[in-house]
């Protein structure tokens, strides 16, 4: 019984680490504009003309 609980907790910790490092970058969105540094909300282009995406800077 203790082995099962321990294994379950280890699996949950590994999943949490994976989610934090892999999935949250896609869920957070564009973040900041690479051109002016303003915080980005939504997917529209930045008023300064920047794309707001890290990969298209």
Q: Return the higher-pLDDT residue of 26 and 46.
A: 46
Residue among 56, 29, 26, 23 at smallest CA distance from 43: 29
Mean pLDDT of the chain: 76
| Among the ranges given (1-10, 21-30, 33-42), the one the predictor scored with the smallest mean pLDDT | 21-30
How far apart (Å, rounded) are the C-alpha atoms in residues 43 and 16? 27
Contact (Cβ atoms closer than 8 angstroms) between residue 51 and residue 57? yes
> Which tens digits make up the pLDDT trace of 21-34?
766 555 555 577 77
Contact (Cβ atoms closer than 8 angstroms) between residue 47 and residue 41? no
Contact (Cβ atoms closer than 8 angstroms) between residue 50 and residue 36? yes
Percentage with pLDDT > 90 across the chain? 23
Query: What pTM, to 2 d.p., does this model score?
Result: 0.41
């Amino acid at each position: 019984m203790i082995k099962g609980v321990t294994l379950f907790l280890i699996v949950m910790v590994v999943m949490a680490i994976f989610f934090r490092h892999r999935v949250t970058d896609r869920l957070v969105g564009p973040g900041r504009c690479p051109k002016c540094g303003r915080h980005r909300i939504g997917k529209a282009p930045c008023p300064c003309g920047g794309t707001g995406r890290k990969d298209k800077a």
